[in-house]
Amino acid sequence: MAKKDKKELVVIGAGPGGYAAAFHAADLGIKVTLIDPEVNPGGVCLYRGCIPSKALLHLSKTKEEAMQASKWGMKFEEPKIDIKKVAGWKEKVVKKLTEGLGQLSKARNVEYIQGKAKFTGKHELEVTDNKGKISGLSFEKVIIATGSSAVGLPELEIDHEKIWDATDALELKEIPKKMLVVGGGYIGLELGSVYAALGTKVSIAEMTPGFLPGTDRDLVKVFEKNEAFKNVFFETKVEKVKITKKGVKVSLKGKKEEQSKKFDCVLVAVGRKPNTQNLGLKELGISADEKGFLKVDDKRRTKLDHVFAIGDITGEPMLAHKASYEGRIAAEVIVGKKGASYDPKVIPAIVFTNPELAWCGLTEEEAKEKNKNVKVVKFPWSASGRAAAIGENTGLTKLLIDEETEVILGGAVAGKNAGSLIPEIALAIEMGSTASDLSLTIHPHPTLSETIMESAELFYGGATHYKKA
Site for another protein in 202-241 (CB under 8 A): none
- Min CB(439)–another protein separation in Å: 13
Phi and psi dihedrals of 143, rounded to 5? -115, 120
Please name the residues in contact with 246: beta carbons below 8 A apart, sequence gap of 6 or more: 262, 264
| Contact call for residue 290 and another protein (CB under 8 A) | yes
Per-residue 3-state assignment (H helix, E strand, C coil) for 377-429: EEEEHHHCHHHHHCCCCCCEEEEEEECCCCEEEEEEEEECCHHHHHHHHHHHH
126 vs 120: CA distance, rounded Å: 7
17 vs 42: CA distance, rounded Å: 9
64 versus 406: smaller Cβ distance to another protein: 406
Instruction: Point out the catalytic residue in the list 24, 160, 321, 445.
Output: 445
Q: How many amino acids of this chain bind another protein (CB under 8 A)? A: 30
Piece in contact with another protein (CB under 8 A), picked from 70-78, 157-165, 225-233, 291-299: 291-299
Q: Which of 122, 273, 386, 443 binds another protein (CB under 8 A)?
A: 122
Helices and strands, counts by H and E, the chain: 14, 22
| Contact call for residue 285 and another protein (CB under 8 A) | yes
Site for another protein in 327-366 (CB under 8 A): 337-341, 343-345
| Contact call for residue 93 and another protein (CB under 8 A) | no
DSSP conformation class of 40 = S
| Contact call for residue 201 and another protein (CB under 8 A) | no
168 versus 332: smaller Cβ distance to another protein: 332
Piece in contact with another protein (CB under 8 A), picked from 106-114, 269-277, 298-306, 458-466: 298-306
300 versus 398: smaller Cβ distance to another protein: 300
Site for another protein in 419-438 (CB under 8 A): 430-432, 434, 436-437
363 conformational bin, left if phi > 0, alpha if psi -120 to 50, beta if neither:
beta
Rg (CA), the chain: 24
- Min CB(426)–another protein separation in Å: 10
104 vs 41: CA distance, rounded Å: 10
Site for another protein in 393-412 (CB under 8 A): 405-407
165 versus 332: smaller Cβ distance to another protein: 332
Give CB contacts under 8 A, 24+ apart, made by 329-332. Answer: 329/299, 329/300, 330/21, 330/143, 330/299, 330/300, 330/301, 331/20, 331/21, 331/22, 331/24, 331/25, 331/28, 331/30, 331/143, 332/24, 332/28
| Contact call for residue 65 and another protein (CB under 8 A) | no
Active site residues: 445
Site residues, another protein (CB under 8 A)? 121-122, 282, 285, 287, 290, 295, 297-299, 303, 305-306, 337-341, 343-345, 405-407, 430-432, 434, 436-437
